[in-house]
Amino acid sequence: MEDEIWLTVKEAALLTGVSVQTVYSWVRRGHLKVEGLDHRGQKLFRHLNVAQAEMTTRTKAKRVLASSAV
């Protein structure tokens, strides 16, 4: 799709309010897939996939925090 929004690692981190290392962690853990490379060889991610990875990891973090508070 030509109207999709593509993000680099740095842009994904800025958008979601996490560090670049966290974005790489999402990739390593399988929450986020590298979809391509830009003209400089930087990894590219679909905007929607970045948002889904953020939601998934934040939801899991809330569950861990809630269960440890009990």
- The string of DSSP codes covering 11-57 is HHHHHHT--HHHHHHHHHTTSS---EE-TTS-EEEEHHHHHHHHHHH
pLDDT, tens digit (0-9, with 9 covering 90-100), for 30-51: 999 999 999 999 999 999 999 9
Q: pTM to 2 decimals?
A: 0.79
* Cα distances (angstroms) measured from residue 25 to each of 8, 14, 62: 14, 15, 18
Spell out the domain ranges in the chain. 6-69
Task: Look up residue 51 and give its amino acid.
Answer: A
Q: In this predicted structure, what is the pLDDT of residue 3?
A: 79
Distance in angstroms (rounded) separating the CA atoms of residues 69 and 10:
33
* Band of residue 14 on the pLDDT scale cut at 50, 70, 90: very high
On the question of pLDDT at 27 being above 60, the answer is yes
For 6-69, CATH number out of 3.90.1720.10, 1.10.1660.10, 3.40.50.150, 1.10.600.10 equals 1.10.1660.10
C-alpha gyration radius of the chain: 13
